[in-house]
Chain A
């Protein structure tokens, strides 16, 4: 057993009301990539937080490099060579790249910060990662994906021997993922142990040596990746087999519900045209920054439009602010749940009733608690949101349930068009299927469903028609029968070229 660089045995950890970890054992060797898998709420994040000193264990033993370790704090873990890249970006947005990389470990010269040296060292680390970022750039000015790379650079700068990555790819584009995998392979060759948490199972084959699967806070199994297959992994994760990863409901296309004509809004939405019909789900594919989110925001009236017309059921409507869209029956479940989708400090009930207060309150604005309660109960039941009761804060729900909540608050009113932006980001397989089922149900009810996704299998698996965006424009439109990953990618990378190129469409 001597070659385990980290060994956790019989770890338990409880929070008020929940047993997050129940007798979990976990180990990882030097020079291997260990995937830690499980649904949301399975306890993966809690386990790695115990290993990195963020949480203290209630019971069990932690051995690092063969030595038992007690009273682990983030600082102590860092000194011992454990570094964690958190799921949620943890950067000081006001500080520079170099300042973030050396945060908490600043180098000083007789008490004065040695900024120049730190900048140089940061540059070296960034070069090692093939990143061309000026260390003096303010982190808040960087794109999210670049911020994530900075976080990796920060972890590397500590000379970490055990590197924990919690959903590192969820905000990255495919190119960046490729870069990340190169880095992971390099680190592995250097003898680092990497603990890799991800919901994107299809990525595992490129990097992973072993997998550990958790469910409901318990250790389920641990095996070599080469000895197993996806079906086995998934069935271990969910405890039962998911038959259809992408449930598709055939529906005949009805009349046109919704049409966008010549929509322009800033650099990222240029001359966008499309229609939605009853009985279909339309997916918008594209690379990150293709203008998909911006398009949904412009339609919904969050960002101002420069020009363009929007028709609902044949009538032109004027959307200047989100309220106009909601009144007309167009709703948006935004990408960033915690930032745009929910008031996480408010209760589940309050979140659901928030956009529906016009339906729930009387003439002078007093809210009818009974109606509110009924609406919440119906929504929670319809979407099978798992919660202790509807008075808990939205923040306490798992990612998948939060996503359902974002949807739930809109479904309580009779909408005509529902727009989802990355509805399954960061949620587990079973919850994804529930979201797909929900979208199918809307489709069957004749509601127009538009969804943005960066996950190609999802786009191909659930849409009836696919719009591809690139650089603020719709570069392709495909019926599902003619769509392949290659064609979509072709359209998604169709940037305006300086060479006079003939449009292929």
Chain B
């Protein structure tokens, strides 16, 4: 009886769209853990596991935002710069004596504003998302530089200790707060995406925007919403960055937009829209973090790490393409053959 229930749970999990690929990638992740463990035994030390997860957390958070945007068939290139902007604005406000919590709220609101702007440019002004967010990417980086007159900020000081603990240094139940933040954001956004109407509409827009419009979905609003999510997530990561460094750095978040795409795509989110689940992004981010951390442990220089990670991204997308085209589903022709084989069996 119990066994049967277990089977049902397993069936249910496997019935979730895209779970197949997530499991494949998870096997890859476990393989990496084994390899790095063999290369350097201290890879498994409690300290390193904690550090690894704390490294993964920000990538996961921006990955969530990017996944939302990718599932609608768009892309957000601005998030790396928004991380930098959030880092610089929060730190500058704090060094100017603003209450850290007020500074945090204001920063997040500004980042959401960038999301709204991206959404409007793409949905209302019909700009190609690549171009629109390339523009806001440059603007946001400029803002990050201008807020403190083209200097990194001073230390955000004693008054912000609570803020720094919340976002980086503190732990709750023996787990770093940064990791908790990532876990909570994942749970919230995964729920929104998989269980709510808005989530369903996000997939619909990415799958066929015309059909969605004709079904009465406000597709512009959905587009704005996903950019707001990605702006918000980037804002949170910016806060983590300023809390970590204890100051604002202008080049914070550099290249993060690409890391976010990598985490999403490795985890099975399609850049063409309509496909992907957030648990995949979690695994994708974990692979990214494991490679960074593990290669560092194995003594590989930074340049080497970049090369390896780049290759892994290409291979995972390549595998995805091969798996997809190997299946008899993509083309219309094979659909015909499906229906026919059905008929011939019947007769």
- Cross-chain contact of A339 among B200, B206, B212, B332 (Cβ < 8 A): B332
Cβ of B232 under 8 Å from chain A: no
Assess whether A140 is interfacial by the CB under 8 Å rule: yes
Check A103–B196 contact: CB distance below 8 A. no
| A144 touching B335 in the complex, CB below 8 Å, given contacts A103-B215, A103-B217, A104-B216 | yes
Interface size, B (range): 35 or more
27 chain-A/chain-B pairs, Cβ below 8 angstroms: A54-B214, A75-B216, A90-B214, A92-B204, A92-B208, A92-B274, A93-B208, A94-B207, A94-B275, A95-B200, A95-B274, A103-B211, A104-B201, A105-B215, A136-B15, A140-B329, A143-B336, A143-B339, A266-B337, A267-B341, A288-B336, A288-B339, A289-B339, A290-B340, A293-B333, A471-B340, A472-B340
Give chain B residues whose Cβ lies under 8 Å from the Cβ of A289: 336-337, 339-340, 343
Which residue of B has the minimal Cβ distance to A111?
B196
* A291 interface residue per 8 A CB criterion: yes
- B213:A74 contact, CB within 8 angstroms: yes
Task: Tell me whether B288 is interfacial, beta carbon within 8 Å.
Answer: no
Least CB separation from A495: chain B residue: B347
Asked whether A336 is an interface residue with its Cβ less than 8 Å from the other chain, the reply is yes
Are the C-beta atoms of A104 and B196 separated by less than 8 Å? no
**Does any Cβ of B come within 8 Å of A477's Cβ?**
no
Shortest distance between the CB of A494 and any CB in chain B (Å): 10
Query: Is B195 interfacial (CB 8 A cutoff)?
Result: yes
In the complex, whether A142 has a CB less than 8 A from a CB of chain B is: yes
Interface string of B188-226 (1 = CB under 8 A from A): 000000011101110110111011111111000000000
CB of A94 within 8 A of CB of B274, answer yes
Q: Which residues of A contact B337 (CB under 8 A)?
A: 266-268, 289, 291, 294
Q: Which of A243-291 contact B (CB under 8 A)?
A: 266-268, 288-291
A353 at interface, CB cutoff 8 A: no
Distance between A306 CB and nearest chain B CB, rounded to angstroms: 15
- Whether, in the assembled complex, B344 has its beta carbon less than 8 Å from a beta carbon of chain A, the answer is yes
> Which residues from 446 to 505 on chain A have a C-beta closer than 8 Å to any C-beta of chain B?
471-472, 495-497
**Chain B: interface secondary structure?**
helix
Q: Whose C-beta in chain B lies nearest to the C-beta of A86? A: B214
Contact bitstring B296-319, A, C-beta under 8 A = 1, else 0? 000000000000000000000000
Contact B200 A146 (CB under 8 A): no
Decide yes or no whether A381 CB sits under 8 A from chain B: no
Closest 4 CB pairs of A and B: A104-B215, A75-B216, A92-B207, A289-B340
Q: Is A99 an interface residue (CB 8 A)?
A: yes
B11 to chain A, nearest CB (A): 12
Count, chain A residues at interface, CB 8 A: 50
Asked whether A143 lies within 8 Å of B211 as measured between CB atoms, the reply is: no
A-side contacts of B339, CB under 8 Å: 143, 145-146, 288-289
Q: Does A112 contact B (CB under 8 A)?
A: yes
Within the complex, what minimum Cβ distance (angstroms) separates B68 from chain A? Answer: 15
Scoring A residues 130 to 152 as 1 if CB is less than 8 Å from chain B, else 0, what string do you get?
A: 00000010101111111000000
Q: Is A297 an interface residue, CB under 8 A from the partner?
A: yes
In contact, A142 and B207 (Cβ under 8 angstroms): no
| CB atoms of A108 and B197 under 8 A apart | yes
Q: Which of A92, A111, A266 contacts B211 (CB 8 A)?
A: A92
B-side residues, CB < 8 A to A, are 15, 17, 195-197, 199-201, 203-204, 206-208, 210-217, 274-275, 329, 332-333, 335-341, 343-344, 347
Q: Which residue of B lies closest to A336 (CB)?
A: B332
A291–B206 Cα distance when bound, in Å, is 32
Bound complex: CA A60 to CA B201 (Å): 34
Contact A90 B196, beta carbon cutoff 8 Å: no
Q: Are A74 and B343 in contact (CB under 8 A)?
A: no
Q: Which residue of chain A lies nearest to B329 when distances are taken between CB atoms in the complex?
A: A141
With known contacts A143-B339, A267-B337, A90–B211 Cβ distance under 8 A: yes
| A residues less than 8 Å from B340 (CB atoms) | 268, 289-291, 471-472
CA distance A143 to B332 in the complex (A): 8
The residue of chain B having its C-beta at the shortest distance from the C-beta of A268 within the complex is B337
Q: A113-B196, A339-B332 are in contact. List 8 more A-B contacts (CB 8 A).
A: A74-B214, A90-B208, A95-B200, A95-B204, A105-B216, A111-B196, A144-B335, A294-B336
Whether B336 lies near A93 (C-beta < 8 A) is no
A75-B216, A95-B204 are contacts. A112–B195 as well, Cβ < 8 Å?
Answer: yes
A498 to chain B: closest residue by CB: B347
- 1/0 per residue, CB under 8 A from B, across A87-125: the answer is 000111111000110011110100111000000000000
Residue of B nearest to A339 (CB): B332
Note all chain A residues with C-beta closer than 8 A to B215.
74, 103-105
Interchain CB contact under 8 A, A297 and B333? yes
- B197 nearest CB neighbor, chain A only: A106
Select which of B201, B335, B343, B347 is within 8 A of A142 by beta carbon. B335
Cβ–Cβ < 8 Å partners of B206 in chain A: 94
| A75→B196 CA distance, assembly (Å) | 20
Contact between chains at A74 and B197 (CB < 8 Å): no
Q: Is the pair B211, A91 in contact by a Cβ cutoff of 8 Å?
A: yes
Minimal Cβ-Cβ distance residue in A for B342: A143
Contacts of A496 in B (CB 8 A): 344
CB-defined contacts of B336 to chain A, threshold 8 Å: 143-144, 268, 288-289, 293-294
Interface residue A212 (Cβ < 8 Å from any Cβ of B): no
CB contacts (< 8 Å) of B212 on chain A: these are 92, 103-104
- The residue of chain A having its C-beta at the shortest distance from the C-beta of B209 within the complex is A92
Chain A residues near B338 (CB, 8 Å)? 141, 143
**A302 CB to nearest chain B CB (Å):** 9
Contact B214 A91 (CB under 8 A): no
Beyond A103-B215, A145-B339, A294-B333, is A92–B203 a contact (Cβ under 8 Å)?
yes
The interface residues of chain B lying within 8 Å CB-to-CB of A100 are: 211
How far is B341's CA from A496's CA once the two chains are assembled, in angstroms?
11
In the complex, what distance in Å separates the CA atom of A294 from the CA atom of B344? 17
Q: Report Cα–Cα, A112/B193, bound state, in Å.
A: 10
Complex Cα gap A108–B333 (Å): 36
Determine the chain B residues whose CB is within 8 A of the CB of A105 once the complex forms. Answer: 215-216
In this assembly, does A25 line the interface, its C-beta being within 8 Å of a C-beta of chain B?
no
Residues of B within 8 A of A106 (CB): 197, 200
Residues of chain A contacted by B333 (CB below 8 angstroms): 268, 293-294, 297, 303
Q: Looking at A103, A145, A146, A471, which has the most chain B CB atoms within 10 Å of its CB? A: A103
Judged by a CB distance under 8 angstroms, whether A78 is at the interface is yes
Shortest Cβ gap from A153 to chain B (Å): 13
Q: Chain A residues near B17 (CB, 8 Å)?
A: 94, 138
Q: Which residues of B contact A291 (CB under 8 A)?
A: 337, 340
A94 touches B344 (CB 8 A): no
Interchain CA distance A385-B182 in the complex, whole Å: 60
**CA A267 to CA B340, docked complex, whole Å:** 10
Complex CA distance for A293 and B206, rounded to whole angstroms: 30
> How far, in whole Å, are A310 and B65 apart by their CA atoms in the complex?
54
CB distance from A158 to the nearest CB of B (A): 10
Whether A143 touches B335, Cβ cut-off 8 Å, given contacts A112-B195, A138-B17, A497-B347, is yes
For B196, list chain A residues within 8 Å (CB).
Answer: 108, 111-113
Q: Which B residues are in CB contact (< 8 Å) with A142?
A: 335
* Chain B residues with CB below 8 A from A113, complex form: 195-197, 199-200
Q: How near does chain A come to B155, taking the closest CB pair, in angstroms? A: 43
Complexed CA–CA distance, A105 and B197 (Å): 9
Could you give, for residues 70-92 of chain A, a 1 whenever the CB lies within 8 Å of some chain B CB and a 0 otherwise? 00011100100000101000111
Report Cα–Cα, A139/B208, bound state, in Å.
12
Are the C-beta atoms of B343 and A495 separated by less than 8 Å? yes
